[in-house]
Structure 1
Amino acid sequence: MTLTIDGTVVVPAADPDDGERTARALEPHLAPASTVVAVNVVEKSGGGIDKAPMEQREDHAADIFERIRDVLDESPAAVETEVLYGTDVVERIFEAAREEGADAVVFNAREGNRLAELLTGDVARRLVKEASVPVVALPQEST
């Protein structure tokens, strides 16, 4: 059975490679009625010092969106992009999904070791465990 996405999906991407990898995995599943809302969450510190200057983080998001658009340029789907801001990445992704009326959040899990997952909060795991809309984890490309 082949998955076809013919609605709106929110696609979070953490960096340009993640965005490109996710777009490549998603592209075969898109239909003319599909809308891809690519998002990058700029994590705010909630009153503390932010990790990087805002302009640098917005430039980083622009690089992510450019790579996603390059892959999806020939796809039948409409592609939108949005920089999101919040103190909790996962909560902000689901908030955006509700705001967009998304049918699902779609992501491509990145490889990582257990220590890195513990230190970063493992966004992928939280996306699945705390889902407030359906979540689709696309398979990783085999190398």
Structure 2
Amino acid sequence: MSNSLFQTTVVPIGDPDDAADTAQIIGKFIPKGGKILVAHVVEKGGGAPDKASLEQREQFAEDAYNTFVETLPDGDYSIEFLPLYGRDVAETIIQGAEEVDATAIAFVPRGGSRWIKFLTGDVALNLVENSSIPVISLPHKDAQLETSQHS
């Protein structure tokens, strides 16, 4: 196996659309024999009433996992699911990645205004600022298509 940054990559996904976007891109970076650990954080309410039952949130995660696998291009890598549970999404992803000795955390950033990110917390920024593991922001599929057309 190579000593690639992408050898054991935790790939967080939020919903089925995010899973599809991420799957289309990540397969191009994982080396032969690499491992993709697809992570979804089921957020805990921390004492507050949850908007959906645990079963509903786990089913939502399952739908996202299935979309990821269906969209991921064929390749010589393994895929595992990494269900995570926590209140702080970025912190939970970092802890999960550390527990599995990941070589990197890679994601496709989601859109959103600065105002929304301020109110809800910017998971991407928190990942980059707080992780001891390299965090890689992957290009959106549209950006990659534009780049490949100019190459």
- Normalising by structure 1, we get a TM-score of 0.91
2:138 corresponds to: 138
Q: Give the distance between the partners of 1:42 and 1:7, measured in 2 at CA.
A: 25
1:94 corresponds to: 94
Q: CA deviation at 1:25?
A: 1.1
Larger Rg: 2
1:5–1:34 Cα contact (<8 Å) kept: no
Q: CA deviation at 1:8?
A: 0.4
Q: Can you list the C-alpha shifts for 1:72-94, whole angstroms capped at 9, x where unaligned?
A: 26121100012211111111101
- Partner letter of residue 105 of structure 1? I
SS across alignment from 1:142: helix
- Partner letter of residue 11 of structure 2? V
1:20–1:68 Cα contact (<8 Å) kept: yes
2:59 corresponds to: 59
Number of residue pairs matched?
140
Identity %: 39
The within-5 A match list for 1:41-52 is 41-52=41-52
Q: CA deviation at 1:118?
A: 1.2
Structure 1: gaps spanning 5 or more residues: none
2:37–2:81 Cα contact (<8 Å) kept: yes
Q: Give the distance between the partners of 1:25 and 1:6, measured in 2 at CA.
A: 13
Q: Can you list the C-alpha shifts for 1:104-142, whole angstroms capped at 9, x where unaligned?
A: 000100111112111220111111111221001001122
Q: Give the distance between the partners of 1:59 and 1:112, measured in 2 at CA.
A: 25
Q: Give the distance between the partners of 1:85 and 1:6, measured in 2 at CA.
A: 24
RMSD over equivalenced CA pairs, Å: 1.5
Q: Can you list the C-alpha shifts for 1:24-43, whole angstroms capped at 9, x where unaligned?
A: 11111122221000011011
Q: Give the distance between the partners of 2:11 and 2:85, measured in 1 at CA.
A: 15
SS across alignment from 2:112: coil
Could you list the structure 1 runs, at least 4 aligned residues long, displaced by more than 3 angstroms after superposition: none
Structure 2: gaps spanning 5 or more residues: 144-151
